[in-house]
Structure 1
Amino acid sequence: MLLLWPLPLPLPPPLLLLLLLLLLPLAMLWQQRRRARPSWLARLQHQVAWGALGLAAAWQHRKLEQSTLHVGQSQQQALEWCLKKAQGSCCLPRGSTDLSTFRSHLPLTKTRQAKEEESEEKLLSPAPLQDHREASLQATLLGLVTLNKAYPEVLTPGSTACVTPTSPWPNSVPWLRHALGRVSPLGAKDSQTLLLEALISPGLRALEARTAVELLDVFVGLEADGKEMAEAIAAGNLGTPLPSRAAELQEALEQGPRGLALRLWPKLQVVVTLDAGGQAEAVAALRALWCQGLAFFSPAYAASGGVMALNLWPEQPQGFYLLPPGVPFIELLPVKEGTQEEAASTLLLTDVQREEEYELVLTDHAGLTRCRLGDVVRVVGAYNQCPVVSFTGRLGQTLSVRGEVTDENIFSAALAKAVGQWPGAKLLDHACVESSILDPCDGSAPHYEVFMELRGLRNLSEENRDKLDHCLKEVSPHYKSLRLRGSVSPAKVHLVRPGSFRVLREALAACPSSSFPPEMPRVLRLGHLAKLLQKRVMS
């Protein structure tokens, strides 16, 4: 299933890799000393960079093959590494690396989010795990080679641009990005400059953004500021004036959002973003509107600030990921009928069953806690002895005003069905709040407060608002029962101004404890975040 191939090497791999890595900085230094870059030097630079990348990726491939063929041994080594690094800071017997002792002395704990959700001074984010450069580098190298195998032209010079300050690749490797001839300028700090650089390059084949929600912000901002950006391109703010390209931008914007990316970049093939919690809605909006007709690829799934799983199958639109057996140490907790079995024992990677759902439990040497992330995966296959999974939801994103427990998937399905009945409407983003958080003194029955950002609709009739409540009753028998008894009032639906969720994400990212990338919460537990959206309601 892996999309890599062995490379015939005239020299031993370590020596050849060292030679390539030495040649690359020399070529870049020569380039910096000259005003113009000869085409032959650009080609040499790209070939050297790609040779180094291919060798490093082949090395990582061999390591992955060995670890996934001997999963039990690999997981034991990962556990021993975590325990050795944490010696003196844990309650385990000194020198103990036994799995049963590890489980008995370290009980499962929930994320900081679950413990602190009532605190107004804390954000909705789990405690960040220690970043592992090895896992990040492996995800980046294997992802680049895998992407090149599926789309052979996207990594040629001048074919890729990133439109957010942070790359979707877990390990950005700046020298490699420059040597591969990326369009994105080095040192750019804002998305607008990056987008302008991408707009003046009509031959792009791949568009990158750190996450799908940030790419959604980029396209919404492009529509709002398109006239100013066209003027900047025509005036040559980034170099040579390009009035014809500015005219193409204006013409493309006048035709609306649907298929905009392919009108701007006719050769575009794939959109690369980093998958994380709460991204599915943004991906759906991008696929339906601005990025219609394009493939999406994520090199990895990130949770709690680190790489949790690798994507080796860009041809799979569902997003299948390999759970690797390295650090952090991974256990899986069975999930039954949408609720957690508190008495259930965790399983190792080799013990899971196909089509079953599990919650991820991670252990890192930093703090050495067996942390229940809340991220739920369904096992869809196997790679050697390791499970291949799809991420299905997050246990922490549930609504419960009367003990009904409406989880993220159930609510999202009801909301999608309701929005589908609103003519012309396309959902861009949403968040939910339990009514007691916004107004604990409200005399009405408890209910859901729903904040949405829509495209194509700026006002909702009462009849349309009621459709969400009807759809919730259809997908949740418990909610329906509470509504019929009058224990719960109908859900209240609010439309917020364009850009409201970008402001929410900025507030989330501003906290030092925010995960990287920040997960997009669908259920807000903190009053100040809920009121941030409440102040931006327009209907």
Structure 2
Amino acid sequence: MLLSSRCVPGTVSNPVYIFCKAVIIPILQTGERSPEQLADLPRALRLTKCQSQCPTSGPELGSLPPPRSCLEMLLLLLFLLLLLLLPLLAVLWQRQPQDARLSWLAGLQHRVAAGTLCWAAAWQQWRLEQSTLHAGQSQQQALKWCLQGAQGPRGPLRGNTDISTFRNHLPLTKASQAQEEESEGQLSPPTSTQYYGEASLQATLLGLAALNKAYPEVLAPGGTACVTPTSPWPCPLPWPWRALGQVSAPGAKHPGALLLKALRSPGLRALEGGTAAELLDVFVGLEADGEELAETIAAGNPGVPLPRRAAELREALEQGPRGLALRLWPKLQVVVTLDAGGQAEAVAALEALWCQGLAFFSPAYSASGGVVGLNLWPEQPRGLYLLPPGAPFIELLPVNKGAQEEAASTVLLAEAQKGKEYELVLTDHISLTRCCLGDVVQVVGAYNRCPVVRFVCRLGQALSVRGEDIREDVFSEALGRAVGQWPGAKLLDHSCVESSILDSSEGSAPHYEVFVALRGLRNLSEENRDKLDHCLQEVSPRYKSLRFWGSVGPARVHLVGQGAFRELRVALAACPSSPYPPEMPRVLRHRHLAQCLHKRVVS
């Protein structure tokens, strides 16, 4: 044996030693690793000390200095793997025929990748347990990290980590105000790229572990395909992704090429899309371009001609959209997308039509300032996320429905109360801006000392032409009621515009312009259009009062043609200030974006 299996003082708590003992040695001895043994690895990693004292034997990995970060540990592990496997690979390579060599090497690569991710996820899970058990200390460390990276006139605060002093010196800033000051060169609101590091890596590793636990076959070779240019994983890992079953070529960005690669692989277990809205566009485009894709697959451009697979594609499309994904990929188990503001509508449409019968999983919730919520429970109802106490530094501002108290004080994660709603406040570690993101969450439970939340709405997506302030969730409820009264209609997408943006009042009272994409209904009668206005009055007494006095005109509903919202998303992605992807705005504030939908109105 290269390493002694007996207890070595100072080594059992070292994750590198545990991984070598649990994974590498059995691979070298038997050439394979059973799923049951891999499943026991997280339990082994939770060992923190030796249970008995034994004589030292074999190389003392415990004498190595402890790695300072997860990345250093991964690099150390990969270097050790290379040293251990090179002699064995050289011997076995000479004994096997070429096909057997490639197959064996691919299997070994998959086992090593799975073991590495399992080890790294267990390490992150241990860190999460410790940080959530000591949430107050973890948030103090996160604040210290923010202060150390501070630049500009607020730099003197970096030596003081007192929460009260921090709050007194830095007033709360609204996201819109931060954007205005950013244009003047004073501040910068938090962006999703500023925290693309430890938080994103943690969300990815823990999400992969949770997904693998719920659906073990997903990480089998050739079991997963991503059909959008963006990934649902906050921090995609380049090497293990290829070894863990991704059929998409790394670096491929054209949506058509990604979809074609997935269609050529009938054995998929998981289908990935950057967001639900992007995946919705993929399925709508698949219906429109299905015949062309079938011809390409049959001709083998690129790849080997697959006429039988092309016939299966044509047959699946002929049966309509409902359940299409399972007809194309009979072994499909789960759809993976990244959750964010404005995505719930697209998820509901996919669940009801193309992805009917499939589970949906999001590894994290991406708010305006980056990765915020972690999803540790794929088997639980969708939309529950843990707010971790590490960087970025998060505060919670109590929200009072109907009126926001400007003088309200923020609370830390451990102080959140179940059932209450809070607005997320993130601190930018560069300019030390305490920015109110507008994302509202409701606390539904707790994980150790940290809150488990569901995201309710975005305050920046409220409608208000006369001060009525209809929140995003309130409008969605009214629209859902109205669509439910339209015979045969299924809502796919919607966006709203205040009449002043399009100059459509023409002397009448200000009102809302509502653009909808539907399936199952080609025309909207006046009676159906009026139902939305009635539903808005039911859910908002303030709106009802303004309508009664004539201060606000009736909402105008427009049906747009197929592909209108895909064109809107292309325009959004090209806009530097747009949060899409991953967030999908439901209220458009710019005229050129509203025109993308207005010119595609069919009814």
Range into which the TM-score falls when normalised by the shorter chain: over 0.9
Q: Structure 2: how far apart are the matches of 1:201 and 1:136?
A: 29
Residues 1:442 and 2:528 are matched in the alignment? no
TM superposition shift of 1:504: 1.3
TM superposition shift of 1:18: 3.3
What is the letter of the counterpart of residue 281 of structure 1? E
TM superposition shift of 1:5: 3.3
Answer whether contact 1:17 1:55 (CA < 8 A) is retained.
Answer: no
Q: Structure 2: how far apart are the matches of 1:237 and 1:37?
A: 28
Q: Structure 1: how far apart are the matches of 2:528 and 2:468?
A: 24
1:122 — aligned with what? none
Residues 1:264 and 2:316 are matched in the alignment? no
Q: How many residues align?
A: 528
Aligned counterpart in structure 2 of residue 163 of structure 1, from 208, 219, 227:
227
TM superposition shift of 1:519: 1.4
Aligned counterpart in structure 2 of residue 512 of structure 1, from 569, 572, 576:
576
2:249 — aligned with what? 185
What is the letter of the counterpart of residue 272 of structure 2? E
Aligned counterpart in structure 2 of residue 429 of structure 1, from 469, 479, 493:
493
Residues 1:357 and 2:394 are matched in the alignment? no
TM superposition shift of 1:135: 0.7
2:409 — aligned with what? 345
Q: How does 1:460-475 map to 2 (within 5 A)?
A: 460-475=524-539
Q: Deviations over 1:356-378 (max 9, x none)?
A: 11000001212210010000111
Q: Structure 2: how far apart are the matches of 1:212 and 1:520?
A: 10
My pick for the range that moved more, 95-104 or 12-21, is 12-21
Q: Structure 1: how far apart are the matches of 2:180 and 2:489?
A: 36
1:390 — aligned with what? 454
What is the letter of the counterpart of residue 330 of structure 1? I
What is the letter of the counterpart of residue 456 of structure 1? G
Question: Which 4+ stretches in 1 moved above 6 angstroms?
Answer: 9-17, 24-27, 34-37
TM-score, L = length of structure 2: 0.83
Residues 1:234 and 2:298 are matched in the alignment? yes
What is the letter of the counterpart of residue 51 of structure 1? G
Structure 2: which 5+ residue stretches go unaligned? 1-39, 48-57, 68-72, 184-188
Q: Structure 1: how far apart are the matches of 2:369 and 2:100?
A: 40
* 3-state secondary structure, aligned to 2:114: helix
2:125 — aligned with what? 61
TM superposition shift of 1:73: 0.5
* 3-state secondary structure, aligned to 2:209: helix
Structure 1 residues 393, 361: CA separation in 2 closer, same or farther (over 3 Å shift)? Answer: same
Q: Structure 2: how far apart are the matches of 1:491 and 1:437?
A: 14
TM superposition shift of 1:37: 6.7
Q: Deviations over 1:339-359 (max 9, x none)?
A: 422111000001110011100
Structure 1 residues 101, 422: CA separation in 2 closer, same or farther (over 3 Å shift)? Answer: same
Q: Structure 2: how far apart are the matches of 1:444 and 1:181?
A: 59
My pick for the range that moved more, 58-67 or 128-137, is 128-137
Q: How does 1:217-232 map to 2 (within 5 A)?
A: 217-232=281-296
2:20 — aligned with what? none
Q: Structure 2: how far apart are the matches of 1:37 and 1:110?
A: 59
2:475 — aligned with what? 411
Q: Structure 2: how far apart are the matches of 1:16 and 1:408?
A: 43
1:375 — aligned with what? 439
1:7 — aligned with what? 44
1:195 — aligned with what? 259
Structure 1: which 5+ residue stretches go unaligned? 120-124
Considering fraction of residues, name the structure with more helix.
2
Answer whether contact 2:396 2:425 (CA < 8 A) is retained.
Answer: yes
Answer whether contact 2:464 2:470 (CA < 8 A) is retained.
Answer: yes
TM superposition shift of 1:223: 0.3
2:108 — aligned with what? 44
Q: How does 1:188-337 map to 2 (within 5 A)?
A: 188-304=252-368, 306-337=370-401
Answer whether contact 2:495 2:516 (CA < 8 A) is retained.
Answer: yes
Structure 1 residues 429, 59: CA separation in 2 closer, same or farther (over 3 Å shift)? Answer: same
Answer whether contact 1:258 1:289 (CA < 8 A) is retained.
Answer: yes
TM-score, L = length of structure 1: 0.92
Q: Deviations over 1:5-34 (max 9, x none)?
A: 32369976978973446647989x999xx8
RMSD: 2.6
Residues 1:18 and 2:76 are matched in the alignment? yes
1:176 — aligned with what? 240
Structure 1 residues 63, 196: CA separation in 2 closer, same or farther (over 3 Å shift)? Answer: same
Q: Structure 1: how far apart are the matches of 2:190 and 2:593?
A: 17
* 3-state secondary structure, aligned to 2:515: strand
- Identity across the alignment (%): 74
Q: How does 1:2-151 map to 2 (within 5 A)?
A: 5-7=42-44, 18-20=76-78, 23=81, 38-90=102-154, 92-93=156-157, 95-112=159-176, 127-128=191-192, 130-151=194-215
Q: Structure 1: how far apart are the matches of 2:402 and 2:311?
A: 52
Structure 1 residues 114, 90: CA separation in 2 closer, same or farther (over 3 Å shift)? Answer: closer
What is the letter of the counterpart of residue 142 of structure 2? A
Answer whether contact 2:148 2:158 (CA < 8 A) is retained.
Answer: no
Q: Structure 2: how far apart are the matches of 1:289 and 1:264?
A: 14
